[in-house]
Amino acid sequence: MIWRFISFTRLNAFENMAIDEAIFRANQKTGSPPTLRFYSWSPPSVSLGYFQAAREEVNVEACRRYSVDIVRRPTGGKAVLHENDLTYAVIASDHNPLFPRDILGTYKVISSCIAQGLSELGIEAEMEGNGRSYQEDSLKTACFSTPSRYELLAKNKKICGSAQLRSKGIFLQHGSILVDFDPAKTCDLLLPEGDRRWQTAKLRRSVTSIYEQVGAPVHVENICRVMKNGFEKKLNIELVEGCLTAYEESLKLQLMNDKYMTDRWNMEGKVAADGLNNSD
């Protein structure tokens, strides 16, 4: 089976989200081949889960001080700081025989691909079997504070978080693979006021990164290469490099202008009456 592979790019938060939603919407309309995309964020950004309350679950003032953009994802889940991570997006039909037709089953399949890629870096990652309950309310808004079912742990610390959207027979799964991790900055940006020393220590105990596991920096292009290999091996697919179609490019621009670059969407989760929303 042939999939489209969109090579690594480093873009701002608004364009990143617009690209992923444009591919998702185009797939709903045209039945495009499954797509895998890797990217990072410039400048550093916080992405909110679709259902989160921005001003209650992210320190908006701290983000402004750090010059960190805030964007709301079309997928669910909790807030993520994108500064030293590799983000992936998988867009495919929920009728694809490679994936079960449910969110957790899809998580499990994609996590096995990520785990295969991590193994090529010498990192043994295991899937969380049951998911963990939040220990403290002050940590619950941050994605990496606790693993959900079938998310990946390395030495019992979370290394990858995922979130998903399903609509009209297509799914979009986002995931963030930590390349490096700054628990103090994560606390400042994502957590409400509280005992920062305790919060930082708790995140340090529960979160890890590729750098920490390998013991040395790893170039992002090398991480992309092993992750691409992991998807090809686990799914028995061929990833062929491609780019956005003309229709997807047009959708991307519309989504950026009407949705992802607006405070109405990012802060309130709303779009203009004539804009695009998740149920279109």
Q: What positions carry a catalytic annotation? A: 143
Distance CA 267, CA 187 (A): 20
Following DSSP, what letter does each residue of 197-225 receive, concatenated?
HHHHHHHHHHB--HHHHHTS---HHHHHH
Count the neighbouring beta carbons within 10 Å of the beta carbon of residue 156.
Answer: 11
Distance CA 241, CA 227 (A): 14
Return the bridge partners of 87, or none.
39, 176
Residue 171's contacts (CB-CB under 8 Å, 6 or more residues apart) are 90, 91, 92, 93, 94, 99, 103, 106, 164, 165
Q: Are 148 and 160 contacting, i.e. CB atoms less than 8 angstroms apart?
A: no
Q: Are 144 and 183 contacting, i.e. CB atoms less than 8 angstroms apart?
A: no
Please report where in the chains the tokens 């495919």 appear, as a residue.
92
155: left (phi over 0), alpha (psi -120 to 50) or beta: left
Nearest Cα to Cα of residue 35 among 46, 45, 24 = 24
Distance CA 159, CA 53 (A): 25
